[in-house]
């Protein structure tokens, strides 16, 4: 019994009536069970309702001067902090139309005067129980939403880490490191966001698509796992037949990803892998059509691959390889500019030039020993 009494006193009821006698009668009925606040006019009632702690229930007289109960209820429903507080109208009016009007405005119930104690206490208890049930449900839903968001973030981190780990298998085959993955991924993101500022690209390069491009970028060279070590790590120039084999890494990578996404059950969840397949297959195509494996030209090259092409070449230029020393960043910039309209999409080169400072920051942040 003690626990019930303590719980009841934690429940606050706001009584609004312009007649002090009515407040006295209602207060005497409620105070043994609940914490009671009172107001004799609508404007002060609105202040009390918005104050902390907010009432769990409002008993509201309909006929009041200045601001009647209907208007008070409307004002309560307009405010986010008070719209969910249940309101029971207390009125001497007994017309069906009056009751219907109040219920249409959002009143939870009606109690007619003169007050019948057992009826009022029963209806108050019923509305409070309903509110407590709603509050529990809201709390549970809020917890579930938080938990789902937490799990999604966790799964995303696991997914991203798994993609980088998988991509690093290919990178380490030719003495590259995970920093190449981080740099090129960041470059693709920077270029895509800059290109999205152009009116003819902003409908395509939505935040979701840019996110997919960024996630997919680490898998651009996954096909290198299928290239023999003696070719992949050859320090000198390739023989013609070796170069033909080296070029197959683009198709090997895209074919591997294609096989991974054939389970139709997971198609919608694996959209970013479709982009990864696209990037892997086409990122060595060139704007003028001289690239491989398909010899595509201009806009026929998927946008994701055109972005990856510049990011990958820039990073290759500033990085040490078995067949070359690292160029300075300034020299790499010169080479990218020379490739405008030949190797690279001219608009992407312009995006690159607009974000040179960001490229320098990324190059320095994930610096290899040989990066200039």
Give pLDDT, residue 85: 93
Give pLDDT, residue 244: 94
Query: How buried is residue 294: exposed, middle or buried, by Cβ count under 10 Å (0-12/13-18/19+)?
Result: middle
pTM above 0.85?
Answer: no
* pLDDT digit string, tens, across residues 112-167: 888 899 999 999 999 999 988 988 888 888 888 887 778 777 766 766 666 666 66
> Among positive and negative, which fits the CA dihedral 272, 153, 143, 206?
negative
Q: What is the DSSP string of 287-325?
A: TTS--SSS---GGGS-HHHHHHHHHHHHHHHTS-BTTBP
Give pLDDT, residue 71: 92
Q: What is the DSSP string of 194-241?
A: HHTTSTTTTTTS-HHHHHHHHHHGGGTTGGGGGS-HHHHT-SSPPPHH
Reduced to 3 states (helix: H, G, I; strand: E, B; else coil), residue 368 is: coil
| 152 Cβ neighbours under 8 A, 6+ residues apart | none
- Domains of the chain in start order, with CATH, are 2-142 (3.40.50.2300), 174-365 (1.10.3210.10)
Q: Are strands 57-61 and 12-16 parallel, antiparallel or unpaired?
A: parallel
What are residue 61's DSSP bridge partners?
Answer: 90
Q: What is the DSSP letter of 55?
A: P
Which parts of the chain register pLDDT below 70? 1-9, 93-98, 155-156, 158-178, 263-270, 368-372
């Amino acid at each position: 019994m003690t626990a019930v009494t303590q719980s009841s006193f934690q429940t606050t009821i706001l009584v609004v009536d312009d007649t002090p006698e009515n407040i006295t009668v209602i207060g005497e009925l409620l105070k043994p069970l609940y914490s009671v606040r009172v107001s004799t006019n609508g404007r002060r009632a609105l202040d009390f309702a918005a104050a902390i702690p907010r009432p769990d229930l409002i008993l509201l007289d309909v006929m009041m001067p200045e601001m009647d109960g209907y208007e008070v209820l409307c004002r309560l429903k307009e405010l986010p902090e008070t719209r969910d507080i249940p309101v029971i109208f207390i009125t001497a009016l007994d017309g069906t139309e009056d009751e219907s009007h109040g219920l249409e405005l959002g009143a939870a119930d009606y109690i007619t005067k003169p007050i019948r104690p057992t009826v009022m206490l029963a209806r108050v208890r019923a509305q409070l129980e309903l509110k407590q049930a709603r509050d529990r449900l809201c709390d549970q839903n809020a917890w579930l939403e938080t938990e789902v968001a937490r799990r999604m973030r966790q799964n995303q981190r696991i997914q991203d880490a798994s993609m980088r780990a998988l991509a690093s298998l290919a990178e380490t085959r030719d003495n590259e490191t995970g920093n190449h993955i981080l740099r090129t991924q960041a470059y693709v993101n920077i270029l895509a966001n800059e290109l999205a500022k152009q009116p003819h690209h902003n409908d395509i390069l939505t935040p979701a698509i840019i996110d997919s491009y960024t996630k997919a970028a680490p898998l651009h060279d996954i096909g290198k796992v299928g290239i023999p070590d003696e070719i992949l790590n050859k320090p000198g120039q390739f023989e013609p037949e070796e170069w033909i084999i080296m070029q197959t890494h683009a198709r090997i990578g895209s074919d591997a990803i294609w096989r991974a996404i054939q389970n139709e059950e997971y198609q919608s969840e694996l959209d970013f892998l479709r982009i990864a397949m696209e990037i892997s297959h086409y990122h060595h195509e060139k704007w003028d059509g001289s690239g491989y494996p398909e010899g595509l030209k201009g806009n026929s090259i998927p946008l994701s691959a055109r972005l990856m092409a510049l990011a990958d070449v820039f990073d290759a230029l500033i990085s040490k390889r078995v067949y070359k020393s690292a160029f300075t960043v300034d020299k790499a910039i010169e080479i990218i500019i020379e490739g405008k309209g030949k190797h690279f999409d001219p608009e992407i080169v312009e995006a690159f030039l607009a974000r040179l400072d960001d490229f320098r920051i990324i190059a320095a942040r994930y610096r290899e020993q040989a990066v200039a």
